[in-house]
Structure 1
Amino acid sequence: MNGELSRADLLSVVERSPAAAAAHDRAGWVGLFAADGSVEDPVGSRPAVGHHQIGKFFDTFIGPRDIVFHRDADYVAGATVLRDVLLQVSMGGGVDMRIPAYLRYVVNGDHTIAELQAYWELPAMLWQFARQGVGAATAGAGLAVGLLRNQGPLGTLGFARGFRRPGRRDRALLDALLTAVSSGDQLTVHRMLGRGTPISAGDDGALGLEELSAVLRGATWSKRIGAGPTVAVGVRTADDSRGVLLVDFRSEGLPAITRLRWFC
């Protein structure tokens, strides 16, 4: 999908997104995306697809606020850039939010963005929002009005789907997997994942379970974000390098891990 784009090319495309958002450049930000591009923000909510819907997304969430992107690290694999960030969002009325997030961009060969996914926790954000005091009421009312005006009732319900995230039993399963893979307990890892669980370097690079287990042996885990069906986990390996593991879970039935993607 990215043709011959280099790492520098990919990062240049991605960097235009926070620059346009900071400048409140609606046309510039929407124009970064392919005609059939999509924005899923947060992951789990209904995606905005195509320039018209992406423009409505901008009008609702970006245009009325000041957003500063504090970038920690970028991980590039194939056509995908995964960015570890802290979002500083000024909502107005003295309400300022700090939202830990991972941003996943898929870039086309023509330097347009095919997909933007933002992994951040909507329930945690609302809890932080509610603790902002009196100013939160005014800012919250403005957000609600903007949602309904720009997205309509169905779009507002689609945004509310962003409350979904892996549950307590999913997180317990993830803890058990991370403990097993870090300690080198291959038997437990194989039993938990089974033979059919897709594992990749980035979105689609070849990566075997044994290879991933070797990389993650002795690793420690930090920033975790649960959004939609996925938990994104910050990793520091035994040789002090860093990466992010995206872990997808089955949406119904007993907890099960359905996919692993490793970005480094």
Structure 2
Amino acid sequence: MVGTFMTFTRSDVLATAERSPAAAGAHDRGGWVGLFAADGRVEDPVGSAPHQGHGAIGLFYDTFIGPRDITYRPDADVVTGSTVVRDGELDIVMGAVDLRVPVYIRYDVRDADGELKIAALSAFWELPAMVGQFLKGGFAGVPAGLALSKSLLVNQGAVGVLGYLGGLRGTGARGKRRIGQFLDDARAGDEVAVRRWLSKGARLTIGDDLPLSTTELLSRVAGTRSRKFIASGYSVAVGLDRDGKRDVLIADVAAKSIAIDRIRYFTDDA
């Protein structure tokens, strides 16, 4: 989306994204759903079935946000054109269980009749890891688990439950290791090795649209330090720190070969 958004400032775009966790934390259902465009989309976690339109987004709220206390703890924000990628952690209280969930949340924002709305929210976090945390709560988590199961069935139906459980599938630890090795080769300036990681026809961009050559990618990655790796579905998101600034790289990988099909590089220096 780089180059397509001219009317509003970086601060305006970021403020729109910041309203989402604020409304969720305040249990403001109408306020939260109203942040989205009429055809807005929520994919949370990435890899699960998306929820599109105010009706579906409202049911998503009723299932996953309204019944629990969620606090977003920000670490860094990256704004590229009309896209915000927020790097932070979710503190989710489900009954007697307190979950800490590392996350990257991507917000795509657009102008809707002179007002900024969220066109898409894509949350990169690891559902298997969260389930593992929940199970460690033992019997204390049983009431919350039963309540979530009932809410899923009531609000999402059997198809919706299966769609949510799709978030358990994905590239996992293997994908994170491969992306780590890819970044090591990029930092070493080994463009031949970097190209070997890419599938035929792989597309590299800054944001969604601005073409990014492998040479420029190596230049941007050089001297960076990787932060947390998150595997969500068949995507891996990783923060890259250098000189007190953070960029975020999101790679889409093939299901079988783990070749990289797509790289989106988010930076304030687009």
Which TM-score applies when normalising by structure 2? 0.92
Higher mean C-alpha displacement, 53-62 vs 133-142: 133-142
The answer to whether 1:245 aligns with 2:249 is yes
Higher mean C-alpha displacement, 46-55 vs 175-184: 175-184
Distance across 2 between alignment mates of 1:138 and 1:75: 38
TM-superposed CA distance for 1:15, in Å, is 1.2
Correspondent of 1:183 among 178, 188, 212:
188
Cα RMSD after superposing both structures: 1.5
- Name the aligned partner's letter for residue 221 of structure 2: L
Contact 2:13/2:84 (8 A) holds in 1: yes
Distance 1:65 1:2, change over 3 A: farther
Correspondent of 2:90 among 68, 87, 90:
87
Contact 1:72/1:84 (8 A) holds in 2: yes
Distance 1:9 1:116, change over 3 A: same
Unmatched segments (≥5 aa) in structure 1: none
Which deviations, in whole Å up to 9, do the C-alpha atoms of 1:111-155 show, x marking residues without a partner?
Answer: 111000000000000000111132211111111011001101110
* Equivalent position of 2:132 in the other structure: 127
- 1:125-164 aligned at under 5 Å gives the runs 125-164=130-169
* Equivalent position of 2:106 in the other structure: 104
Contact 1:170/1:256 (8 A) holds in 2: no
Distance 1:194 1:153, change over 3 A: closer
Contact 1:77/1:203 (8 A) holds in 2: no
The answer to whether 1:220 aligns with 2:222 is no
* Equivalent position of 2:237 in the other structure: 232
Describe the SS at the equivalent of 1:109: strand
Describe the SS at the equivalent of 1:255: coil
The answer to whether 1:52 aligns with 2:55 is yes
Describe the SS at the equivalent of 2:202: coil
Aligned residues: 261
Distance 1:153 1:23, change over 3 A: same
Correspondent of 2:73 among 70, 73, 95:
70
- Name the aligned partner's letter for residue 248 of structure 1: D
- Name the aligned partner's letter for residue 196 of structure 1: G
TM-superposed CA distance for 1:205, in Å, is 2.3
Describe the SS at the equivalent of 2:99: strand
Distance across 2 between alignment mates of 1:15 and 1:244: 18
Contact 1:74/1:83 (8 A) holds in 2: yes
TM-superposed CA distance for 1:2, in Å, is 3.9
Contact 1:233/1:246 (8 A) holds in 2: yes
**Greater per-residue strand proportion:** 2
Which TM-score applies when normalising by structure 1? 0.94
TM-superposed CA distance for 1:240, in Å, is 4.3
* Equivalent position of 2:25 in the other structure: 22
TM-superposed CA distance for 1:167, in Å, is 4.2
* Equivalent position of 2:171 in the other structure: 166
Distance across 2 between alignment mates of 1:173 and 1:103: 22
TM-superposed CA distance for 1:174, in Å, is 1.8
Distance 1:139 1:194, change over 3 A: closer
Unmatched segments (≥5 aa) in structure 2: none
Describe the SS at the equivalent of 1:108: strand
- Name the aligned partner's letter for residue 227 of structure 1: S
Contact 1:182/1:217 (8 A) holds in 2: yes
